[in-house]
Amino acid sequence: MRLFVAAEIGERLAGRAADLIRELEKRAADAAPRARLTWLIADRLHITIKFIGDVDDVRAAAIVAALQPPLDVEPFDLTVAGMGAFPKNGPPRVLWIGVEPGRDDLIAAEREISSRLTPLAIPSERRPYSPHLTLARVREAAGLRSASLLEGLKDRSLGTTRVDAITLFQSRLSPKGPTYVPLLRTALGRRT
């Protein structure tokens, strides 16, 4: 099974993100009609904290056990704001909206999750963790440019939500796209 850990953003922020995605779709179609993008849909939106990948049932059980105790991170407010693209220059590959405040809390959660999973031979990322909400993946830019696409949107805010748990998801792939099944919600809050 394919696993990842994420912070859920709730229906209200997911709805606002869906509105922003529709706006970006129109802008992209007008700016670069031949561009091919895969847009995320509201019920699949989340902020990935740790991608684990494919594991067997035995390893999945060990991951669940490792993530069961509460994280040593207090519940926090997370604001989804600030549009951007990866890479910063040239044709975009990913369109995203950032996290601030709440960024440092997500980074702390990622560090603890990674330290719990390292003994299970799940490698840490090579690049520093950069919390963001992915809105689209660009399959073929065909003239699409980040600067014009994101003009006037760089300071857009979707709002704030409370994060009091992180979720271990199983991603089930199908021709209709992935389905994310929550396997475990790990509470936030220092252990006593």
User: Of the residues 132, 146, 158, 188, which is catalytic?
Assistant: 132
Q: How far apart are CA 192 and CA 190, in angstroms?
A: 6
Q: Tell which residue, 47, 82, 3, has the closest CA to residue 161.
A: 47
β-bridge mates for residue 163, sequence order = 76
According to DSSP, the residues that pair with 182 across neighbouring strands are 169
Count of residues making up the chain: 192
Q: How many other CB atoms sit within 10 Å of the CB of residue 27?
A: 17
- 46 among known catalytic residues: yes
Sequence letter at residue 42: A
Name the catalytic one among 16, 46, 103, 116: 46
Catalytic residue set: 46, 132
